[in-house]
Amino acid sequence: MPLLAAGDLFVRPDLMRAALDDPAAWDVRELATRWPHDPFGKVAEVDEATGDEDAMIAALDGVQVCLTHLAPLTRRIIEASPDLRLFAVSRGGPVNANLGAATEHGVTVTYAPGRNATATAEFAIGLILAAARGIGRGHLEVTSGRWDADNFVYESSGLELEGATVGVVGGGAIGSRVARILLGFGARVLVHDPYAAPDTLPAGVSLVDLDELLAAAQVVTLHARVTPETTGMLDATRIAAMRPGSVLVNCARGALVDHDALAAALRGGHLAAAGLDVYDVEPLPADHPLRGLPNLVTTPHLAGASRQVAERAAAMVAAEAERWRRGEPPLHCANPEVLR
């Protein structure tokens, strides 16, 4: 049975092939882009994709099942690929697929929720520790030949998580894991998520509204989705309402935060530190207001980058292919109306 493994340098085609229950049952073809060396972006009408429409059309000739990470599924590709029936995306959402066109042409689109939840949660804890304890700043000082005694001055010293109040904004797959890890540190954990039921969160956390969380937390870590309601949720007013000397960490999406207001709060000392893996503009421009701040730990959007994430993503799309081959319904379908 024809199958296209359209991967890249992270979720590789060979990982998808190896994850199939019965590789001999498939005629596996491979197509690979050079992402992340070649950035993703808009391809025709779909977002956050990488690859060429013509190359996809050629590779999909006669193919019924496509497994991918970032390959585009545009209306043009769909209309030129009449045999395609399953497009399995190894991401938390199929933003690289035109769902409307797929549904019109009977193509089932699946996705892979939670594939990077553990990696991102662990990375967030690392950023919290790095920002709260000045690990990034200390590293730069030592590698540049300095040994700054001011790090032991009371006002400059860091924050322990044991006994601290930590606010987790977003209680989904990632936020709930972060909360559980923080409880293991002995922190008092507050969670804000208007859609989370208390029984879905770890025992011992308190579900509160956002203003209460910001006023009480010594550390705030963001794990919310970007929606019209959450875009810019940490604006200048809310950042000013945060506890003086607190720490902000964002491993979710840059659009949640007003970066000009954050830079001002870090420069003025209202916030002691911040740790960011995501930004309003990526890559971070040379003239960005956050550049050069000594109390900021920055990483290049890599919280979800682990070998286990790539392997798990490949396994999730391969499992959808095997379900399709056996005539079973998909586990994570983005356009369920196509199944009716």
Per-residue pLDDT of the chain (340 residues; tens, 9 = 90+): 999 999 999 999 999 999 999 889 999 999 999 999 998 999 999 999 999 999 999 999 999 999 999 999 999 999 999 999 999 999 999 999 999 999 999 999 999 999 999 999 999 999 999 999 999 989 989 999 999 888 888 888 899 999 999 999 999 999 999 999 999 999 999 999 999 988 889 999 999 999 999 999 999 999 999 999 999 999 999 999 999 999 999 999 999 999 999 999 999 999 999 999 999 999 999 999 999 999 999 999 999 999 999 999 999 999 999 999 999 999 999 999 999 8
* Domain 2-115+306-339 identical in fold to domain 117-298: yes
Q: What are phi and psi of 148, to 5 degrees?
A: -85, 115
Asked if 49 and 71 touch (Cβ cutoff 8 Å), the reply is yes
Q: Clarify whether 337 is annotated catalytic.
A: no
Assign 187 to helix, strand or coil: coil
**DSSP character string of 248-315:** EEE-S-GGGB-HHHHHHHHHHTSEEEEEES--SSSSPPTT-TTTT-TTEEE--S-TT--HHHHHHHHH
Tell me which of 180, 225, 301, 323 is the catalytic residue: 301
139 is known as an active-site residue: no
Q: Please confirm whether the linkage preceding 36 is cis (ω < 30° from 0).
A: yes
Q: Give kind and range of the element (H or E) at residue 189.
A: strand 188-192
Strand partners, 222: 169, 250
Domain 117-298: give its CATH architecture: 3-Layer(aba) Sandwich (3.40)
Q: Which secondary-structure segment (H or E) carries 102?
A: helix 99-104
Are the CB atoms for 70 and 84 separated by under 8 Å? no
Scanning 3-98, the segments in alpha helix (DSSP H) are: 13-19, 53-59, 75-79
Using the 8-state DSSP alphabet, how is residue 23 labeled?
G
Question: What letter represents residue 166's amino acid?
Answer: V
- Active-site residue, from 253, 259, 312, 325: 253
In this predicted structure, what is the pLDDT of residue 316?
98
Catalytic: which of 79, 212, 229, 282?
Answer: 282
CA gap 223, 134 in Å, rounded: 22
Active site residue 301: yes
Q: Which fold has domain 2-115+306-339?
A: Rossmann fold (3.40.50)
Specify the amino acid at residue 203. A
Enter the pTM of the model. Answer: 0.92
Domain ranges of the chain: 2-115+306-339, 117-298
- Crossing angle for the helix pair 117-132 and 173-185, nearest 10 degrees? 50
Structure token pair of residue 295? 């109390």
Return the pLDDT at 324: 97
